[in-house]
C-alpha cells in the first residue's frame, strides 16, 4: 500500500526510516503490473532503472544525504527525453528512439533524487485531449475504464489516480495537464509559460508548451514545481524571475473572479454545480466573489487552432527519418491533419488571414486577462465543460481536442499559470475538476487557493472514493 | 473555403494517399470553416502578440562545453557512411 502515499508522506517515511525507497518503488511496480493491462498508462516501464535508482537513493539516505525528491518514484510523460530510456511521444515515428541526453526537467528531477518508474502514454505528439490518439493504444480512466482519461497527459494523470506512481510529470500546450487531471480527479499544475524549461521536450506548440506536475495533493505539486522551475540557458524563453515558494492557505479577503462566459452552453450540469459549490466553499472561507466579464473563450478555440497547427507544422518538419526516427509516412492521421492545416495557414497568401489574425486576437486575450487581474486575484472556472467522455469519442471529430479544451485554451494562449483541483464527483462516480487561473508567475496565489480548498474539504465524503478499475456506465461517444 | 490537399501535402512533404486526400479535404475545410468566426473580432488597432514572456534579446555566454560524441550523435540513425549521416542526393531531385 506504500504506492498510495503522497510525495510528502513518502519523504517523511523515508526520513523516519519507516520504509525504504526500494519498498515504495516495488509497491509502485507491483501496482503497475496489476492494473496497467486495464489502464495502459505506461508506454515503457523502466523497472531496471527504477530499482537501481531506489537502491542508490536508499544508500544516500543512509548516509544522511538529503535532496528534495530523494527516493521518490515518479512517472514521466513520454515526450520528455530520458537518456537511455526509449522516448516515443506515443508516435511510431519514434518507436526505436533512444535519447542520448536528458530534458532539463528530467535532469533536475534526477539531481533532486527521483526514482524513474517509466514513461507514460499520451496522445501521439501530444496532439489531443483524450490519450486515445496514441499510436500505442488508448489509456483508460481508472474511475471507469469505459471512459477516456483526458489528455494529452492522460497516462500521467491516470497513473497518479490509480496509485501506480507517487506523482507524475506532464506537459501542457493548452489543457494537456489540467484537463486529464480534471477527468482523473487529481491535481494538475500548468506553470506560467517560461517558468519551466522546455529543453528536451518533444516540441509541439513552442509559444505555448509548459511542463508541470500531476500529483495527489497540492503540497506535492508545489514541491515538484520548486524542483522544476528556473532559468535554463538552453531555453531562451525561461524567465530570470526566481520562484519564491510561499503557499498561504488563508484566503480571507482575497478576490475570486467568476465569469459567466466560462459556464458555456452545453456544459454538463453536474460539472456546473460541482464548480459552483467549490466557489461557495471559497466564499465561506472568506474570499470575495466577483462576477467577471471575460472575452468569449470560444474565440480562443480559433486562435489556438491556428497558432498550434502552425507551430506543429514547423516543429514536425524536422522529422525527416535521417538523423533519428522513421520517415514521414509513419505520421498518424491526427499529426498529418495538423501539419497540413499549419502548412496551409503559414503558406504564401494566407499568413495574414490566419496566423497574423490569430496573433492579434491573442493580444486581445492577453490584455483582457491583464485587466481582469486588476480586479481579482484569481479566476475560478470549470476545467472541462464535460465529465470524462466514453472511449471512442474522438473518432471522426477532427476538432475534439479543441472543443474539450475550450475553457483552458484562453489562459494557455496568454501564458498564465493555472491549476486543476478535484472538487467532487458526479452521480455516476466520475471526477469533477475546477481550475484556478492566476496571473503570470503567480503560482503562489493559485497554489494557496488550491491548498485552502483541499484542507477544508479533507473530511468530505467524496475524498474517500476509490477508482473502480471497471466499466461503470456505458454512454454514447459525443461532445 | 477550398483547400488543395495535394499541394499542401507536397509543401509539408507528407505522403498522402488518394483516399486520405478526400478525407483530409473534407476535414480541413470543416476546420477552416469553424475558425472563420475569428473574423467577427475587430483587430484593426491591435498589434500581433508574438511573445508572452516580455523577454527580448536573450543571449548566453559562448562557452565550449562537452557535447555529444560522434557515436552518440549517430546512435539513432540507420544509415551512416564512415561516421557521417548518409542522406539522399538533393541536387538531382525533382
CB within 8 Å: B52 and A331: no
Which residue's entry shows cell 481550475? A435
Looking only at the bridges linking them, the beta strands covering A255-258 and A378-382 are: parallel
Q: What is the mean pLDDT of residues A88-103?
A: 98
Report how far residue A133's alpha carbon sits from residue B81's, in angstroms, rounded to the nearest whole number. Answer: 36
C-alpha cell at A27: 509497491
Told to judge if A77 belongs to the known catalytic residues of this protein, a careful annotator would answer yes
Nearest CA in chain B to A345: B32
* pLDDT at residue A261 tops 60: yes
Express each pLDDT in A228-249 by its tens digit: 999 999 999 999 999 999 999 9
Length of chain A: 479
Nearest CA in chain A to B31: A399
Among A236, A323, A337, the residue with its CB nearest the CB of B76 is A323
The mean-pLDDT minimum among A80-89, A145-154, A316-325, B49-58 falls in: B49-58
Among B14, B31, B60, the residue with its CB nearest the CB of A398 is B31
Q: Which residues of chain A lie closer than 8 angstroms to B67, CB-CB?
A: none
Express each pLDDT in A164-175 by its tens digit: 999 999 999 999
CA A358 to chain CA mean position, Å: 24
CB within 8 Å: B38 and A302: yes
Confidence of residue A119 (pLDDT cuts 50, 70, 90): very high
Q: Report yes or no: A43 and A121 within 8 Å, Cβ to Cβ.
A: yes
CB within 8 Å: A364 and B79: no
CB within 8 Å: B8 and A340: yes
Q: Report yes or no: B36 and A299 within 8 Å, Cβ to Cβ.
A: no
pLDDT of A399 reads 72
Min CA distance, A241 vs chain B (Å)? Answer: 11
Report how far residue A139's alpha carbon sits from residue A273's, in angstroms, rounded to the nearest whole number. Answer: 28
Classify domain A2-464 at the CATH topology level: Amidase signature (AS) enzymes (3.90.1300)
Residue closest to A102 by CA, chosen among B68, B78, B69: B68
Confidence of residue B1 (pLDDT cuts 50, 70, 90): low
Count other Cβ atoms within 10 Å, centred on residue A435.
29
Q: Report yes or no: A155 and A139 within 8 Å, Cβ to Cβ.
A: yes
Express each pLDDT in A207-222 by its tens digit: 999 999 999 999 999 9
Candidates B35, B44, B47, B72, partner chain A, best to mutate (most A CBs within 10 A): B35
Please state, rounded to an integer, the average pLDDT across all residues of chain A: 96
DSSP per position, A116-128: EEEEE--SGGG--
3-state SS, residue A280: helix
Q: Which residues of chain A lie closer than 8 angstroms to B34, CB-CB?
A: 301-302, 305, 399
CB within 8 Å: A343 and B8: yes
Q: Which residues of chain B lie closer than 8 angstroms to A331, CB-CB?
A: 14
* pLDDT at residue A473 tops 90: no
Confidence of residue B94 (pLDDT cuts 50, 70, 90): low
C-alpha cell at A299: 474565440
Contacts of A148 by beta carbon, 8 Å cutoff, 6+ apart: A130, A131, A132, A138, A139, A140, A141, A154, A183, A388, A389, A390, A391, A393, A394
Catalytic choice (A20, A26, A46, A77): A77
CB within 8 Å: A325 and B68: no
Nearest CA in chain A to B25: A337
* pLDDT at residue B13 tops 70: yes
Q: Report yes or no: A197 and A230 within 8 Å, Cβ to Cβ.
A: yes
Residue closest to A103 by CA, chosen among A220, A196, A225: A196
pLDDT of B40 reads 96
Which of the 8 DSSP states describes residue A183?
A: H
Asked whether the CA dihedral B62, B67, B69, B74 is positive or negative, the reply is negative
Min CA distance, B8 vs chain A (Å)? Answer: 6
* pLDDT at residue A101 tops 60: yes
* pLDDT at residue A478 tops 70: no
Q: Higher-confidence residue: B77 or B61?
A: B77
Among B38, B73, B75, the residue with its CB nearest the CB of A361 is B38
CB within 8 Å: A100 and B75: yes
Report how far residue A368's alpha carbon sits from residue A292's, in angstroms, rounded to the nearest whole number. Answer: 11
Instruction: Work out the end-to-end distance of chain B between its first and last CA atoms, rounded to an integer number of angstroms.
Output: 30
Which of the 8 DSSP states describes residue A175?
A: S
* pLDDT at residue A475 tops 80: no
Among A96, A399, A414, the residue with its CB nearest the CB of B34 is A399
Candidates B6, B53, B74, partner chain A, best to mutate (most A CBs within 10 A): B53
Confidence of residue B89 (pLDDT cuts 50, 70, 90): confident
Buried b or exposed e, range B81-91, using 16+ CB within 10 angstroms: eeeeeeeeeee
> Considering the domain boundaries, does residue B23 fall inside one?
yes
Residue closest to A332 by CA, chosen among A345, A319, A346, A350: A319
Which residue range forms the structural domain that includes residue B31?
1-40
Which of the 8 DSSP states describes residue A255?
A: E
Catalytic choice (A156, A176, A221, A313): A176
CB pairs under 8 A between A and B: 132
Which residue's entry shows cell 503560482? A443
Catalytic choice (A20, A21, A134, A152): A152
ipTM over 0.85? The verdict is yes
The mean-pLDDT minimum among A180-184, A269-273, A403-407 falls in: A403-407
Q: Report yes or no: A128 and A180 within 8 Å, Cβ to Cβ.
A: no
Looking up residue B3, the CATH number of its domain turns out to be: 1.10.20
Among B16, B24, B41, the residue with its CB nearest the CB of A299 is B41
Confidence of residue A476 (pLDDT cuts 50, 70, 90): low
Amino acid at each position: 500500500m506504500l504506492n498510495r502515499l503522497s510525495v510528502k508522506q513518502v519523504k517523511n517515511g523515508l526520513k523516519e526510516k519507516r520504509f525504504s525507497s526500494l519498498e515504495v518503488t516495488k509497491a509502485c511496480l507491483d501496482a503497475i503490473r496489476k492494473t496497467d493491462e486495464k489502464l495502459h498508462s505506461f508506454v515503457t516501464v523502466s523497472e531496471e532503472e527504477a530499482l537501481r535508482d531506489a537502491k542508490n537513493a536508499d544508500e544516500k539516505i543512509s548516509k544522511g544525504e538529503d535532496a528534495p525528491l530523494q527516493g521518490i518514484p515518479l512517472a514521466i510523460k513520454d515526450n520528455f527525453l530520458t537518456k537511455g530510456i526509449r522516448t516515443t511521444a506515443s508516435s511510431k515515428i519514434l518507436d526505436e528512439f533512444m535519447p542520448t541526453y536528458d530534458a532539463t526537467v528530467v535532469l533536475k528531477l534526477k539531481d533532486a533524487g527521483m526514482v524513474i518508474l517509466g514513461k507514460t502514454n499520451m496522445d501521439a505528439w501530444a496532439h489531443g485531449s483524450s490519450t486515445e490518439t496514441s499510436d500505442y493504444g488508448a489509456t483508460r480512466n481508472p474511475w471507469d475504464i469505459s471512459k477516456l482519461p483526458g489528455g494529452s497527459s492522460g497516462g500521467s494523470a491516470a497513473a497518479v489516480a490509480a496509485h501506480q506512481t507517487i506523482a507524475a510529470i506532464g506537459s501542457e500546450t493548452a489543457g494537456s495537464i489540467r484537463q486529464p487531471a480534471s477527468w482523473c480527479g487529481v491535481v494538475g499544475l500548468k506553470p506560467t509559460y517560461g517558468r519551466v524549461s522546455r529543453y528536451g521536450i518533444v516540441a509541439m506548440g513552442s509559444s505555448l508548451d509548459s511542463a508541470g506536475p500531476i500529483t495527489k495533493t497540492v503540497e506535492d505539486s508545489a514541491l515538484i514545481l520548486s524542483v522544476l522551475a528556473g532559468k535554463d540557458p538552453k531555453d531562451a524563453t525561461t524567465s530570470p524571475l526566481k520562484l519564491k515558494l510561499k503557499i498561504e492557505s488563508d484566503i480571507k479577503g482575497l478576490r475570486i473572479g467568476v465569469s459567466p462566459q466560462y459556464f458555456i452552453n452545453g456544459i454538463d450540469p453536474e460539472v456546473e454545480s460541482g464548480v459552483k459549490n467549490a466557489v461557495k466553499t471559497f466564499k465561506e472561507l472568506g474570499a470575495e466573489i466577483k462576477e467577471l466579464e471575460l472575452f468569449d473563450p470560444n474565440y480562443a478555440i480559433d486562435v489556438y487552432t491556428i497558432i498550434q497547427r502552425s507551430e506543429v507544422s514547423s516543429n514536425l518538419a524536422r522529422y525527416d527519418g535521417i538523423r533519428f526516427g522513421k520517415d514521414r509516412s509513419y505520421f498518424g492521421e491526427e499529426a498529418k491533419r495538423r501539419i497540413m492545416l499549419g502548412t496551409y495557414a503559414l503558406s504564401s497568401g494566407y499568413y495574414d488571414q490566419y496566423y497574423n489574425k490569430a496573433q492579434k486576437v491573442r493580444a486581445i486575450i492577453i490584455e483582457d486577462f491583464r485587466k481582469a487581474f486588476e480586479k481579482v486575484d484569481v479566476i475560478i472556472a470549470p476545467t472541462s465543460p464535460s465529465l470524462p467522455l466514453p472511449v471512442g469519442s474522438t473518432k471522426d471529430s477532427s476538432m475534439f481536442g479543441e472543443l474539450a479544451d475550450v475553457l483552458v485554451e484562453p489562459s494557455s494562449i496568454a501564458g498564465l499559470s493555472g491549476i486543476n483541483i478535484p472538487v467532487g464527483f458526479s452521480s455516476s462516480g466520475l471526477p469533477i475538476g475546477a481550475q484556478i487561473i492566476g496571473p503570470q508567475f503567480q503560482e503562489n496565489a493559485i497554489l494557496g487557493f488550491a491548498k485552502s480548498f483541499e484542507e477544508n474539504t479533507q473530511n468530505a465524503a467524496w475524498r474517500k472514493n476509490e477508482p473502480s478499475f471497471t466499466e461503470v456506465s456505458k454512454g454514447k461517444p459525443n461532445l | 473555403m477550398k483547400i488543395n490537399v495535394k499541394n499542401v501535402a507536397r509543401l509539408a512533404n507528407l505522403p498522402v494517399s488518394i483516399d486520405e486526400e478526400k478525407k483530409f479535404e473534407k476535414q480541413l475545410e470543416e476546420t477552416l470553416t469553424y475558425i472563420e468566426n475569428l473574423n467577427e473580432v475587430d483587430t484593426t488597432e491591435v498589434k500581433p502578440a508574438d511573445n508572452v514572456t516580455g523577454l527580448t534579446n536573450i543571449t548566453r555566454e559562448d562557452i565550449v562545453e562537452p557535447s555529444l560524441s560522434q557515436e552518440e550523435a549517430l546512435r539513432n540513425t540507420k544509415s551512416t557512411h564512415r561516421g557521417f549521416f548518409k542522406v539522399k542526393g538533393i541536387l538531382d531531385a525533382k
